[in-house]
């Protein structure tokens, strides 16, 4: 079966999985960049590089193709995403990659709450239970003795809350603007948000850091583009649990690069997360097929 023949929900799920694979490149890149540059400067350079890569496309489509229908959405996303990215990059520099990713698994709970409050989305008992099961898997990874709660922990948790807010804004954006338009303005505003904190602690970037900045920009662009495409066809509450898939993607890369191999409890938590995510994907795909054939199932819950 070709991609075009899949149901919209199935295509959205595949876009979400691709987004998580691309997001896994971010902590790996940041880990290499952190010894050279402050977090805010990394965010600024990453965003402006991604913005620069889109300039040829912007010139080709002109202002008519770039003009957003809801400028306020782009301002909100730039503020939430920029602040969240600075906190995320800073936290990554102070703890192991897998630990930071595990802490960010609180994002679905933030997103679930915000989707209900601001988007009016219905959340049934089964989907809520599956999301909570996934969070239990994250708690197994974090577990007592994970480490003292400090500034780095608070920064990563704060980034999760801000990224959840970004996810909600993206859902609204996807209904009014095309993914490329969203990404163009997003990169610009995220970079502008980081300009002032970056200028306060500016460090001349050495030559060896530029390839990693380019890799970070491209990986981040692909991740946000894929996530935006996913949110065109699936709800924010459906997309959010797929964030759990970042852990196995990061673990595969972190071992050969940094010698960080997750222990048995980490893999147990990851397995629980994967099962919860697979259940949500299976249930939403089945319900989409039922709707397509005019056979509405019972209300979720």
Q: Is 41 helix (H, G, I), strand (E, B) or coil?
A: helix
Digits of tens for pLDDT over the chain (301 positions)? Answer: 566 677 888 888 899 899 999 988 999 999 999 999 999 999 999 999 999 999 999 999 998 899 888 888 889 999 999 999 999 999 988 887 877 887 787 777 777 777 777 767 777 788 788 878 877 877 777 665 554 446 887 898 899 899 888 888 877 777 788 888 888 999 999 999 999 999 999 999 999 999 999 999 999 889 878 887 887 788 766 777 787 788 888 888 888 888 777 778 777 877 887 788 777 767 766 776 677 676 544 544 4
Q: Is 1 helix (H, G, I), strand (E, B) or coil?
A: coil
| Residue of 89, 215, 74 whose CA lies nearest to 152 | 89
Q: Which domain holds residue 207?
A: 3-292
Q: Is 145 left (phi over 0), alpha (psi -120 to 50) or beta?
A: left
Q: How far is CA 212 from CA 7, 66, 148, 188, in A?
A: 37, 29, 30, 20
Q: How many domains does one find in the chain? A: 1
- pLDDT tens, residue by residue, 70-82: 888 889 999 999 9
Q: How far is CA 53 from CA 207, 226, 234, in A?
A: 19, 17, 28
Tell me which DSSP letter residue 117 carries: I
Q: Is the pTM of this model over 0.85?
A: no
- pLDDT tens, residue by residue, 167-188: 888 777 777 888 888 889 999 9
CA–CA dist 230, 115 (Å, integer): 16
**Which structure tokens are listed for 64?**
């008519």
| CB half-sphere exposure, 55, CA atoms < 13 A | 8
CA–CA dist 53, 86 (Å, integer): 21
299 in a structural domain: no
298 in a structural domain: no
297 in a structural domain: no
154 in a structural domain: yes
Q: Is 295 left (phi over 0), alpha (psi -120 to 50) or beta?
A: beta
């Amino acid at each position: 079966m070709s991609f075009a023949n899949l149901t919209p929900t199935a295509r959205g799920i595949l876009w979400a999985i691709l987004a998580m694979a691309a997001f896994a490149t971010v902590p790996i890149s940041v880990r290499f960049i952190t010894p050279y540059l402050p977090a805010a400067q990394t965010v600024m350079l990453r965003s402006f590089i991604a913005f620069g890569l889109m300039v040829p496309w912007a010139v080709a489509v002109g202002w008519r193709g770039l003009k957003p229908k809801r400028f306020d959405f782009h301002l909100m996303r730039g503020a939430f995403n920029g602040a969240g990215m600075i906190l995320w990059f800073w936290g990554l520099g102070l703890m192991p990659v897998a630990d930071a990713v595990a802490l960010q698994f609180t994002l679905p709970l933030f997103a679930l709450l915000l989707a209900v409050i601001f988007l009016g989305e219905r959340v049934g008992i089964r989907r809520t239970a599956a999301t909570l099961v996934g969070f239990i898997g994250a708690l197994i990874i974090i577990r007592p003795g994970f480490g003292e709660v400090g500034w780095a922990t608070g920064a990563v948790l704060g980034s999760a809350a801000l990224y959840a807010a970004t996810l909600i804004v993206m859902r609204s954006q996807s209904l009014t603007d095309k993914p490329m338009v969203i990404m163009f303005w997003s990169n610009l505003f995220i970079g502008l948000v980081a300009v002032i904190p970056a200028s306060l602690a500016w460090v001349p970037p050495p030559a060896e850091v530029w390839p990693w900045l380019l890799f970070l920009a491209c990986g981040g662009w692909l991740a946000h583009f894929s996530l935006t495409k996913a949110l065109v066809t699936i709800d924010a509450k459906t997309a959010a649990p797929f964030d759990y898939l970042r852990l196995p993607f990061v673990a595969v890369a972190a071992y050969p690069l940094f010698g960080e191999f997750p222990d048995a409890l980490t893999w147990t938590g990851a397995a629980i997360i994967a099962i919860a995510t697979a259940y949500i994907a299976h249930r939403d795909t089945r319900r989409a097929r039922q709707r397509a054939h005019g056979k509405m199932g019972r209300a979720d819950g």
